[in-house]
Amino acid sequence: MSTLTELQETTTEPVNGRERNLMDRCERCGAESFIVFTKGSMTLPACRHHGLEWEAKMLLTEWIMWDYTHLLNERPSVSANAD
Ligand SMILES: [Zn+2]
């Protein structure tokens, strides 16, 4: 189980207008992050699965949710030439 305090030290991203960091990994399962929660200088990246799972609880505690799940559909398919 990870702690939020250790995230504070590794985060230099601006909170507003935040760009998705390709290095972000879900805090729970390590999958590629498509949802990021921020609160002050803290960030908590999550995969789509865990991001949606945590959404209600996080918003209740005043975290901001950055949803990048739309990027899931913009990724090039590696099987595009499979025709
Ligand atoms: Zn996850």
26-37 pLDDT, tens digit per residue, is 999 999 999 999
Q: Express each pLDDT in 10-49 by its tens digit.
A: 444 444 456 667 678 999 999 999 999 999 999 999 999 9
Q: What is the pTM of this model?
A: 0.65
How many domains would you assign to the chain?
Answer: 1
CA separation for the pair 83, 80 (Å, rounded): 7
Answer whether residue 32 is part of any domain: yes
Answer whether residue 67 is part of any domain: yes
> Residue 34 sits in which domain range?
21-73
Answer whether residue 65 is part of any domain: yes
3-state secondary structure of 4: helix
Answer whether residue 81 is part of any domain: no
Answer whether residue 56 is part of any domain: yes
Write out the residues surrounding ion ligand 1, Cβ under 5 A: 26, 28-29, 31, 47, 50
Answer whether residue 61 is part of any domain: yes
Report the separation in Å between the CA atom of 46 and the middle of ligand 1, taken as the mean of its atom positions. Answer: 5
Answer whether residue 1 is part of any domain: no
Answer whether residue 4 is part of any domain: no
- Measure the N-to-C terminal CA separation of the chain; round to a whole number of Å: 44
